[in-house]
Structure 1
Amino acid sequence: MIGSLAELRAALDEGRTTSLALVEGALSRAKAPEGEGARVFTALHEEQARAAARASDVLRQAGYPRSPIEGLPVSVKDLFDIKGETTRAGSVALDGAAPAQQDAPAVQRLVAAGAILIGRTNMTEFAFPGLGLNPHYGTPLNPFDRSTGRIPGGSSSGAAVSVTDGMAAAALGTDTGGSVRIPAAFCGLTGFKPTARRVSRQGAVPLSTSLDSVGPIAPTVACCATLDAILSGSGADVPAPASLEGLRLAVPTTLALDAMDATVAAAFKAALASLSQAGVRISEIAVPEFAALAGINARGGFTAAEAWHWHRELIEREGDRYDPRVSVRIRRGKELSAADYIDLLETRAAWITAVEARIAPFDALIMPTVPVIAPKLAELEADDAHFATTNLLVLRNATLINFLDGCALSLPCHRRGEAPVGLMLAAAGGQDQRVLAIGQAVEQALAAARA
């Protein structure tokens, strides 16, 4: 089933497959004992998916497909409410919570568009670390170098692997500090983090109400644009690729290029060379505000403060059921006062103004999504200090764009067969369609070099 949404849609339209056949294939892969399905999904919707697929096939046969994703299996991160189910957010602390009374708006839009909800995907507990580890439900392995056992990235870990392993055509995720883009980068997929206000976050367990955004993980930029139009309710067509001739892309030299491993550095350099040959004007710029962000967030930032607000009663009651690596970060928020929080709001507003002015002459920023390839799972499980430093490194570049309240796309830039590397294109808030148009052009320009 692995292919773009457009390819799958064509196969359905031409009668080469059916929605039911796609669903059966996805379920078969998810249930295969030798596969990753047991760690990818916290729940499979077998009978519901089959029933929805049969209905979708009837609608298509009658000539009434509801959208470009009619009949396609889509996975949903276990952060979103689905009517009649308990939303556990990758935790066991919510086992006794009441079932959701209705679908989250993002889920409603997928269902209304004809998507088949194949199941709930595993994630890092309460969407905290960016590495993808989960001690409660297991950690799905990255599709690259599976014999070694590498992390998938997080927090939308199961979401990414559900797509790479053909258990879903696309996945619904969230991104607070890279939780869509990091697993997309590590797993060789495309992930889109929209401007936060673009897609409703209602009905999703929050991590940080200031930083959370809802976005897709899928095979291509056009796939992400299709899903974004549905999730946002914009109904916009997939934007045409931007012209690369004279396009102005800025490489931030402050922080974003630090500590790159050899594989990422080589892939990023090659991508820039390909784009330059295609007519893109690439400039290196200093963004000193990026260097200030670690200090701004030194006491936990919005994530700690706003997570503590949501968790404070649950963690006092069920704290021994939390992953200790998660609970320690949430509890940091207890130490922040109302004055500290207001300071954060004011500091962020000034920071955004300064960064937006600095990047205004350019069409987008371009940088590695993550400065390293996917680390080995066993090493992170065994060493808390290594886990903590790796987590900060993996989150670093992506977090810059969440704090900016911007939009960003991660797309693959590695050669096929090599370790996956993500290339991030980002811009200020509200420029979502422009970033998607640039992303399509960049994807096309890199296609030959990646072959």
Structure 2
Amino acid sequence: MSGPLVPDPQHAWAYRPASPLLGQAGGPLSGLTFSIKDLYGVTGWPLHASTRAPVPDPGPSPLVTRLLALGASATGKTHLHEIALGITGANGYGGTEHPTLPGHVPGGSSSGAAVSVALGQVDFALGTDTGGSIRIPAAWCGVAGFKPTKDHPAWPLTGVLPLAPSCDHTGPLARDVATLARVHDALAGTQTQAQSWTGVRVGLWQPEGWVTREVAQATEALAGQLRTLGAEVATTDFPEVLDAYSPTVLSEAAEVHRTALALPDPAFLPVTLASLRQGAALSADERAAARERRAAYRAQLDSLLARFDVLLAPAVPTPPPRLGQDEIELPGGPLPLRRAALRLTAPFSLLGTPVVTLTTALPFVGAQLVGHHGQDERLLGLALSLDGSQ
């Protein structure tokens, strides 16, 4: 599945060609290299979505083509959690490991993307985010990530194998926000500038019992820094949205992979197959109820963002768990890892708001900065003013 033999103990790389795809000379991204999550179609490169099961061909990605035209060079494709349906990095090729903590997960589904950035193998990585798949691995690998507003014209989904089209986003990971902003500006034709925090209304969302004490302290420390910079920080609340998110994603994913599901042995990992079967079994009434709940949550978030300019929240509930760990211990009690992580990140992919994941003073624990729909440059500008300060 890979090109020439290269050291890759973390199993981050799905395909590395003998020569990179060189970017056009003189472009605004010239000199930068990037990796591509193996959901993106690249002409002449294989696409497996880190599964042994057959997957649909999405065709070539215009986002990849555009980045090459802007001067960035593509070095290869990275592994992901199988078909992007998971948060740890497990897949049909053995799974991906944390870049610097052996025996721990890197997060997912953009696991190889985060590892390739964290190890300095590329300047930025293309990932996707359906429920946290850029933000969770960015946080657990100690890098920055950006999930743009849903359907942002600079970040097309064409040529990307979907997981759940109504929640899917494309976006970048990098070691710093400055690189995220540089890539976004090149694609969008914008000029992001660092923004002042004076008078910015920040809603601190940190539900009690949802994160470990050390994660809570790291998020509180960042909130304190924002206060020092002149922001007005007030605590706020938002419900768990997984009763709308999970049926939506599983039913849409089952439709994407319906051809493989019709085979006697689709060759998905057992947990992936079980999730897809669960999605396929949902009734029309259950799917409609999930859509109604989603609309209610959207109205709640719109009301919340009418009171705040940005939201600040933890990106992950704990530091990186161990490989194979399915449950974590939180102040509110033990909880399945998937639910514990996704309830922090899923609201903002389900509802399409832009998010930047920042590093915090605690290694391998990130924070989410959530903006208003369409205010991506302002959000990046606020994050840019914090760049390198954690």
| TM-score (norm: length of structure 1) | 0.79
Quote the Cα distance in structure 2 between the aligned partners of 1:368 and 1:251.
9
Q: Which moved more, 1:220-229 or 1:405-414?
A: 220-229
Pick from 350, 371, 384 the counterpart of residue 440 of structure 1: 384
Partner of 1:31: 6
Native 8 Å contact 1:404 1:428 kept in 2: no
SS at match of 2:387: helix
Question: How far off its partner does 1:167 sit?
Answer: 1.6
Q: What is the letter of the counterpart of residue 111 of structure 1?
A: L
Task: Return closer, same or farther for 1:350/1:379 CA change in 2, 3 Å cut-off.
Answer: closer
Q: CA deviation at 1:114?
A: 1.7
Q: Describe the SS at the equivalent of 1:367.
A: strand
Which one-letter code corresponds to 1:44 in the other structure?
A: R
Aligned partners of 1:405 and 1:428 also within 8 Å: no
Structure with higher RCO (Cα < 8 A, 6+ apart): 2
Amino acid at match of 1:296: A
Tell me the CA shift for residue 272 of structure 1. Answer: 1.7
Contact persistence 1:144–1:420 (CA under 8 A)? no
Aligned to 1:113: 70
1:128 to 85, 96, 99: 85
Q: Is the 8 A contact 1:319 1:327 kept in 2?
A: no
What amino acid maps onto 1:240 in structure 2? Q
The whole-number CA distance in structure 1 between the counterparts of 2:237 and 2:134 is 26
| CA spacing shift, 1:345–1:380, aligned 2, 3 Å | closer
- Tell me, in whole angstroms, the C-alpha distance in 1 between the residues paired with 2:219 and 2:311: 13
Residue 358 of structure 2 aligns with which residue? 411
How far residue 245 of structure 1 moved from its aligned partner, in angstroms, is 1.6
After superposition, give the CA deviation of every residue in 1:322-358 in whole Å (9 maximum; x if it has no partner).
Answer: 0111111111122223343333333322321222112
Q: What do the CA deviations read for 1:394-439 (whole angstroms, capped 9, x no partner)? A: 2221101112221111010125xxx311011002321211211111
Matched, 1:281 2:232: yes
CA drift of 1:194 comes to 0.6
Letter of the structure 2 residue corresponding to residue 104 of structure 1:
S
Structure 2 partner of 1:158:
112
Deviation at 1:367, TM superposition (A): 0.8
Once residues 132 and 119 of structure 1 are traced to their aligned partners in structure 2, the CA distance between those partners, rounded to angstroms, is 18
Equivalence map 1:10-49=2 (5 Å): 31-32=6-7, 35-36=8-9, 39-49=11-21
Match of 1:249 among 184, 202, 227: 202
TM-score by length of structure 2 reads: 0.91
Deviations 1:286-311 (A, max 9, x none): 33xx23x23334xx321111111111
Conserved 8 A contact 2:13-2:78: yes
Confirm whether residue 217 of structure 1 aligns to residue 173 of structure 2.
Answer: yes
AA aligned opposite 1:185: A
Contact 2:193 2:384 in 1 (8 A): yes
Return the letter of the residue paired with 1:162.
S
- 1:170-249 map, 5 Å: 170-198=124-152, 199-230=155-186, 233-237=187-191, 239-249=192-202
Give matches, 1:42-441, under 5 Å. Answer: 42-49=14-21, 52=22, 59=25, 65-67=26-28, 69-94=29-54, 103-134=60-91, 136-146=92-102, 149-198=103-152, 199-230=155-186, 233-237=187-191, 239-253=192-206, 255=207, 257-287=208-238, 290-291=239-240, 293-297=241-245, 300-317=246-263, 319-380=265-326, 389-415=336-362, 419-441=363-385
Given that residues 355 and 370 in structure 2 are in contact (C-alpha distance below 8 angstroms), is that contact kept between their aligned partners in structure 1?
yes
Structure with the largest fraction of helix? 1
Q: Deviations over 1:261-295 (max 9, x none)?
A: 233122122222222222221101233xx23x233
Where structure 2 has 5 or more consecutive residues not aligned to the other structure, the ranges are 328-333
Structure-1 separation of matches of 2:305 and 2:299: 10
Larger CA deviation: 188-197 vs 242-251: 242-251
Cα displacement (A) at 1:366: 0.2
Letter of the 1:338 partner, please give it: A
Contact 1:189 1:217 in 2 (8 A): yes
CA distance, structure 1, for counterparts of residue 335 and residue 161 of structure 2: 23
Deviation at 1:379, TM superposition (A): 3.6
Query: Given that residues 131 and 394 in structure 1 are in contact (C-alpha distance below 8 angstroms), is that contact kept between their aligned partners in structure 2?
Result: no
Shift of 1:388: 8.3
After superposition, the C-alpha distances for 1:20-40 in whole angstroms (9 at most, x for unaligned) are xxxxxxx99x812xx436x11
Structure 1 gap segments, 5+ residues each: 1-26, 60-64, 382-386
CA shift for structure 1 position 378: 4.4
- Point out the structure with max Rg over C-alpha: 1
- Aligned partner of 1:203: which letter? G
Counterpart residue type for residue 245 of structure 1: T
Distance (Å, rounded) in 2 between the aligned partners of 1:90 and 1:318: 20
Which SS does the other structure have where 1:196 is aligned?
Answer: coil
Measure, in 2, the Cα distance between the counterparts of 1:159 and 1:246.
35
Find runs of 4+ consecutive structure 1 residues off by over 6 angstroms.
none
Match of 1:5 in 2: none
In the aligned structure 1, how far is the partner of 2:100 from the partner of 2:74?
Answer: 26
Q: What are the superposed Cα offsets for residues 363-388 of structure 1, whole Å, 9 maximum, x if unpaired?
A: 1000111121100114459xxxxx98
Structure 1 Cα separation of the partners of residues 325 and 291 of structure 2? 37
Instruction: Give the letter for the 2:347 counterpart.
Output: L
**Residues in 2 aligned to 1:315 and 1:388: alpha-carbon distance in whole angstroms:** 29
Cα deviation for residue 361 of structure 1 reads 1.8
1-side partners of 2:41 and 2:160: how far apart?
6
The total of aligned residue pairs comes to 380
Whole-Å separation in 1 of the counterparts to 2:159 and 2:273: 22
Once residues 137 and 207 of structure 1 are traced to their aligned partners in structure 2, the CA distance between those partners, rounded to angstroms, is 19
Contact 2:149–2:376 (Cα < 8 Å) also in 1: yes
Percent of aligned pairs with the same residue?
31
Aligned partners of 2:242 and 2:346 also within 8 Å: no
Q: Partner of 1:317: helix, strand, or coil?
A: coil
